[in-house]
Amino acid sequence: MDIYHGFFDLKEQESDIGFADELSAFLEFLTLQGRIESWRLMRRKLGLGPKELGEFHLMIEVRDLTQLEDAFKQVSGRNGDTETKHASVNQKIAAITFALYRDFPDPHRIRGEEQF
């Protein structure tokens, strides 16, 4: 699995619960279409964590980069229900930092032949 991470803050006037509901509607929409496998929204607790990462952490799991690219293609089409749901979420975020990680060790990893 590849995990696409987003670390962010909401704009000051935005409702945290309202955002969570709209994010759920958007990402469940993508999940039902098979564009992503699963997702999870977390919030920093007790102020613990680097401020520059933001208060919220979003994890989106995809099978591989092909599935992630398919999701990006759908969202970047900027039309229809996808655009409406994406815009309702995107407009509430003040700043976001992304990262992409994978499960390790890779399931296809061959051991014993490494040269570094």
Q: What is the pLDDT along the chain (116 residues), one digit of tens a residue?
A: 999 999 999 999 999 999 999 999 999 999 999 999 999 999 999 989 999 999 999 999 999 999 999 999 999 999 999 999 999 999 999 999 999 999 999 989 999 999 98
Amino acid at residue number 85: K
Q: What is the DSSP letter of 43?
A: E
CA dist 14 to 9, 19, 53, 86, 95, Å? 10, 7, 18, 16, 13
